[in-house]
Amino acid sequence: MKTPFGAARMKSSDLWKKLPTAAELLENPRVRSVVDRLNPSVVTAQVRTFLDDVRADLAHRAEEANLPSFSELADRVSRYLSGADAYQVGGAINASGRFRGGPWVSTPLAEAAVERMLLTAQDFTLSQQEGRADEDARRLLVELTGAEAAALFTSHAAALQQAMETLTTDSRLVIARGEVGTVERNCRVTDLSMAAGVTLLEVGAADSVHLSDYEQALAGGPATVLRMGSSTGADAACRPTLEALIQAVKAQGGVAVVELGAAPVQSIAGLATLLPSVQEAIGWGASLVLVRGDGLVGGPACGAAAGDAAVIERLLDSPLTATRRVDACRAAALAATLRLHSDAERAALSIPTLTLVTAPIDNLKSRAERLAPQLAVSPRLAAAEAVELRPAPVCGLPVSAPSWGVRLRPQQGDATQLADQLLSGSPAVAGRIEADCVVLDLRTVFPRQDLDLVALFEPADPAGSSDDPAPPPVD
């Protein structure tokens, strides 16, 4: 006589034989929604590992143990893949409009970068230059920007501190008073200068600085001048152009260090950025340009430096370089990302950050208008409407762009409660609270995630119903 799959009771030595295969689990809707967000080959390996763990558990259980139902296994494997059972940090749908900063600890990488990182991590890494796993990334950075040399560091802050320590003259660093701000969370320019043993010579006023202010500071002799990039562009009329400042510093025999934050490697067609590219700054004669790997470069979090060969050599000659050099996996991911930049069209299609920021506004509008009525039927919502979001700086990137999204008004409770519920869902969704609503900004949501958003708001299935395929019966 046959019994339902979930009710099977037999000796533990036979239980594992009745488990579904990895292929069967991967076709389950719950699992497939996770697979679509991850690397298929990695997911398949993880599902097989999960089943091995289940088999090992069953082998040690007492006789007459219950076999989990197919639905239960699908739910467990989806949580296993999402990391819900073991990790506090995991992937999520970013509907906040923010590319960097809390709650995000990383940005998505291009598939080529993920594959390259995976290959580097699972094998021994060989370099033609002993101890220099970042050679490919440095060479590509030089080719793309026109710089004489390049260097990579564990973080953007580490690159900036290294520059302060090795390039300052008489421990003196000239900087505009209005640019003495925060580099990273809990990391200010003043913190880095103190750690580097450097004195900041602030020039100008808090809200403006003139070329003559820099020239007066340089009158006492050559010095290193640090220009911190702005992500707002609001101060463009209150300080000299970067090109003019670089020329003035070089005329006085000084060193011009330009910190561009999340700026692009090269100018991006169709995208107006609020900062020049690394290539442009190098072309204007900057001695050293610092940029984030995880900004509009679209790579992993790290610090990248490009500039004159003599300046880069001074950076790398520091005994602290070994403690700040980027690791092999991130260097490999950055190299793969930079290789994509050699073809601007391919970069826009392949690098997730660029794909999102260059998405046509008409596409965002169409998606918002399609999503709104699907979300509106949820009993959790009193209303859901497509809304145009005014042009504003994209938080975390030097880009100002309009967007479209969906405004959600909760049926019960307030917007904070709804936002918390979305963050605790699977997958987690981070929106932003505006008045009594939660806004899902599609500028930072991948089109492939639209179905996940709809699924999160679908009414719960009636008790006993399931979309799972019927499992095979057992004797």
pLDDT digits (tens, 9 = 90+) for 427-466: 889 999 998 999 999 999 999 999 989 988 887 554 444 4
Number of domains into which the chain is organized? 3
Q: Residue 186 falls within a domain, yes or no?
A: yes
Runs of H (alpha helix) within 154-261: 156-167, 189-196, 211-218, 242-251
What digits encode the pLDDT tens for the residues 148-199?
999 999 999 999 999 999 998 788 899 999 999 998 888 999 999 999 999 9
Q: Residue 303 falls within a domain, yes or no?
A: yes
Q: State the amino acid at position 363 in one-letter form.
A: N
CA angle 196, 202, 203 (to 5 degrees): 150
| Residue span of the structural domain in which 415 resides | 92-108+358-457
Q: Residue 465 falls within a domain, yes or no?
A: no
Distance of CA 188 to the CA centre of its chain: 21
Cβ–Cβ < 8 Å for 299, 136: no
Helix (H) or strand (E) holding 226: strand 224-228
In the three-class reduction of DSSP (H, G, I as helix; E, B as strand; rest coil), residue 327 is classed as: coil
Q: Are residues 122 and 239 in the same domain?
A: yes
Q: Are residues 167 and 51 in the same domain?
A: no
Spatial CA neighbour of 286 closest among 236, 334, 351, 242:
242
Q: Are residues 417 and 292 in the same domain?
A: no
Q: Are residues 419 and 371 in the same domain?
A: yes
Within 128-186, strands assigned E span 149-153, 172-176, 182-184
Give the Cα separation of 292 and 303 in Å (integer).
5
Q: Are residues 364 and 387 in the same domain?
A: yes
What digits encode the pLDDT tens for the residues 41-63?
667 777 777 777 777 666 655 45
Q: Residue 289 falls within a domain, yes or no?
A: yes
Q: Residue 353 falls within a domain, yes or no?
A: no
Spatial CA neighbour of 328 closest among 158, 55, 127, 465:
127
Q: Are residues 279 and 411 in the same domain?
A: no
pTM passes above 0.85: no
Last residue of a domain, one of 300, 326, 346: 346
Q: Residue 276 falls within a domain, yes or no?
A: yes
Last residue of a domain, one of 346, 370, 392: 346
Phi first, then psi, for residue 151 (nearest 5°) are -145, 155
Q: How many CB atoms lie under 10 A from the CB of residue 290?
A: 29
CATH number at residue 418: 3.90.1150.180
Distance of CA 23 to the CA centre of its chain: 31
